[in-house]
Chain A
């Protein structure tokens, strides 16, 4: 049968890394080219549409040879790549906000069928009101379904993480889809200097996708996704549970190999720690709010306040043990959520609730966790916001009662 997802020949390959000024979306498009994806489906919605435009341009310029299919909506967009992946193709797609939600049925069956799809979510507020700005509720909507979910905070990390995503998703021990979340505007629409790895490095890092006995092909006749009743469903779910469990260690392997081959290390794959060594309190969050938080922390440090930052990178799998162990070193934790979960415990955002849950069963010190909802709909999270958050977390660290959920940057 035809060989799919072959590695790109060394035709006009650059032997050394180059640096390019590109957006986060473009960085992911470059990763698609380096990974030599076979099938890309597209349907426009801001801010994801930037990535489809860049991939499209690569195809038009003859830099990437793939099937590029513009679907009639997100549901078919995700279904088409799901089926392509079942046929052994390396696939890429993505969406944003309500577009992602429109694809929801396809999104639920993709992990269930163990399809290693890689998608970019250009994080966008869910309608209504129609808004382009970032919120994380779109990608978080699939958090329970078997999707591996990662948030990146720079174009460089977007490119690197896309390569890692292919490697982990397509690992036979995992075979689960992965969504790379890029904050709308801050990452998708802003250009930064990015090191482009060589094809040779990528070929060393990323093996060919091999669907093995699950390949849907006339030479390997199988039935995929038959009906199953209560005698089967639990066992099937348990298999996905095991796959997600394995994803944790496969991710670690991939990051270690990435550092070895590309000479760039991300340290702990699951979360990044910033100025935590001597910190009294830490702030937490996902995505590009890391920039104002880091700047705020540097300002506060000048005033003698020992604040650190833990940026959660991988939300699924969630490194609960490691995180709880790390957080046990601090007197209090403030989680800034760029999402909401109305009616949740203490009305907190999703990340704050997960962090509390991770700490609850930990044997170490359990610092109080304050939840902050900020930056919704793309609103700026400012440095003064960060200082305000820190002040409240310091109060909690001193044993003074603080509201468990606070809205920051709200007109009130």
Chain B
């Protein structure tokens, strides 16, 4: 048997669908230049046409056809040489559309395999988000903002070719930089892209992540029931209606919190989350009313607390809020937990105020594809500048 290579690209539905496909295809095409057969596919059970939902693409390459069949005989690889997360917030965990638990971003990595993350954060921040692994692995960061666009459009900011350049450094047995550059010229006919690949190849310097490093949290799991344990008739009992909220300061009960599905959480769909200024809130109810996921809990004083188990990070609350910086979307990398902002505010208003100011100031890149006219023109030169320097 020859050697089998597997690479996964974890991306966000719609926003990065074309990006992931381009990377996956180019991996196979570059390897093919060196006589290796391969296939590129998206995980069918995912739903790449849903906003921001984590999804996967795979490139499987082998030194010969028979070995390739070993890789193709699986629905998806059980282990990979390289995991590419094209958005750093995915490091908090990955849930496919089927929602049966949170998969650590590095779950499929072989011992010594490499996690490539596109991010503006440093390695400490990325490691802190990623779940711990029982054996060491490599981490390589590609400096840049997440390359988000729309379903049929593609942000030509060189993220794809820079990743290809990195792969040729990390896994030279798969393909050389020369093959990457030849593929780029074939696919895109752009010598600047070829140069970007070479620069990123040059600058790639992975670090080792030890088993003692990373997020110690045990990712929540959902065990699939056996056929005779499941209810019949394809019917799912509803979750209970909800209950009052307890005030952490006074212990008085009031307001309303809808109960939420314990196996259907939305942590990993989010690339940003709302932070709420409870002192400036005018209780207009718009965020609560317009939230497509009913994520707002109503407190006894009539304030609205965005519950992070239910928030997809769509940003509608921010858009409809009539008060300046009362609801502000902040990049998900800024947060370490999913706890209640209202409870923090009730406990200590001054600390909360300082925390809020800090979050709003450093809210970083907002996501979700093209949110305003002119975003493409603004972002692509910025990315190209990073690519040139990196």
Contact = CB atoms under 8 A, between A and B. Distances in A.
B237 A239 contact: no
A114 B233 contact: yes
Interface stretch (B142-150, B173-181, B224-232): B224-232
B87 to A, nearest CB: 23
A36 to B, nearest CB: 23
B43 to A, nearest CB: 10
A232 B226 CA distance: 10
Interface in A221-242: 221-226, 228-232, 234-236, 238-239, 242
A113 interface: yes
Contacts of B230: 235-236, 239
B227 A238 contact: yes
A112 B226 contact: no
Contacts of B237: 213, 221-222
Interface in B203-247: 224-228, 230-238
A113 B97 CA distance: 23
A114 B232 contact: yes
Interface in A139-169: none
Contact residues of B: prevailing secondary structure: loop
Most chain-B CB neighbours within 10 Å: which of A114, A175, A229, A238? A229
Contacts of A238: 227
A117 B59 CA distance: 48
Given A230-B45, A235-B225, A214 B236 contact: no
B352 interface: no
Contacts of A231: 45, 98, 100, 224
B50 to A, nearest CB: 11
A243 B234 CA distance: 14
B97 A222 contact: no
Contacts of A175: 232-233
- Contact-size category for B: 20 to 34
Contacts of A224: 233-235
A214 B100 CA distance: 23
Contacts of A235: 225-227, 230
Contact of A214 (B75, B228, B232): B232
Contacts of A228: 234
B234 A236 contact: yes
Given A235-B226, A239-B227, A113 B234 contact: yes
B2 to A, nearest CB: 30
A263 to B, nearest CB: 35
Nearest to A238: B227
Nearest to B75: A230
Contact of B236 (A114, A222, A229, A243): A222
B97 A223 contact: no
Contact of B238 (A113, A221, A232): A221
Nearest to B241: A221
A243 B227 CA distance: 12
B32 to A, nearest CB: 30
Contacts of B227: 234-236, 238-239, 242
A112 B235 contact: no
Most chain-A CB neighbours within 10 Å: which of B227, B233, B237? B233
A229 B231 CA distance: 16
Interface string B38-56: 0000001100000000000
A113 B236 CA distance: 12
Nearest to B239: A221
A32 to B, nearest CB: 24
Interface string A193-229: 0000000000000000000011000000111111011
B45 A229 contact: yes
Contacts of A214: 231-233, 235
Contacts of B100: 231
A222 B231 CA distance: 12
Interface in B100-157: 100
Given A231-B224, A238-B227, A223 B236 contact: yes
Contact of A239 (B44, B98, B232, B236): B232
A61 B238 CA distance: 42
A237 B125 CA distance: 45
Interface of B: 44-45, 75, 97-98, 100, 224-228, 230-238
Interface of A: 112-114, 175, 213-214, 221-226, 228-232, 234-236, 238-239, 242-243
Closest 10 A/B residue pairs (Cβ) = A221-B238, A235-B227, A114-B233, A238-B227, A223-B236, A229-B45, A214-B233, A222-B235, A229-B98, A224-B235
18 contacts: A113-B234, A114-B233, A213-B235, A213-B237, A214-B233, A223-B238, A225-B234, A225-B235, A229-B45, A230-B44, A230-B75, A232-B224, A235-B225, A236-B230, A238-B227, A239-B227, A242-B227, A242-B228
